[in-house]
Amino acid sequence: MTADMQRLAKLVPDLVAVLGLRYRILRQIQLAQPVGRRSLAACLGMTERTLRAEVEFLRDQGLLAFSPAGMSLTAEGEALVEALEDAVRQCWASRSWKRAWPRGFASSGRSSFRGMP
């Protein structure tokens, strides 16, 4: 983990949990798009209510597109997931950050790298 990430974690302790959760949502949508909210919530082990708040935030950021077929990543969302992959991998590799990742973060097994969503 970089010194900058350590400083950010010190300033914003929930940063790691929020980063992990939102990355996991984006990554799962990338793998299953288009995907409905109910299916995604079940896959991620979340309630639809919790997921709804997160995907609305991600949509407002321009990262998701909604359609009758389900949610998909926008071009910006695709680019962000790809750009963050190494940073998320570094965070996950750090023992001190593993404890802060959301429950089930490493359990999906559908990743391009071991232990990640």
pLDDT digits (tens, 9 = 90+) for 13-66: 777 778 888 999 999 999 999 999 999 999 999 999 999 999 999 999 999 999
Q: What is the pLDDT of residue 1?
A: 54
Give me the chain's average pLDDT, please.
79
Q: Is the pTM of this model over 0.75?
A: no
Q: Determine the Cα–Cα distance for residues 117 and 112; give it in Å rounded to an integer.
A: 8
| CA atoms in the 13 A half-sphere facing the CB of 96 | 7
The token pair at 46 is 């979340």
CA 64 – CA 115 distance, rounded (Å): 24
Amino acid found at 2: T
Q: Give me the residues paired with residue 64 across strands.
A: 73
Between 36 and 91, whose confidence is greater?
Answer: 36
Bridge partners of 70, per DSSP, are: 67
Q: What is the C-alpha separation between 1 and 97, in angstroms, rounded? A: 9
pLDDT band for position 111 (cuts 50, 70, 90): very low
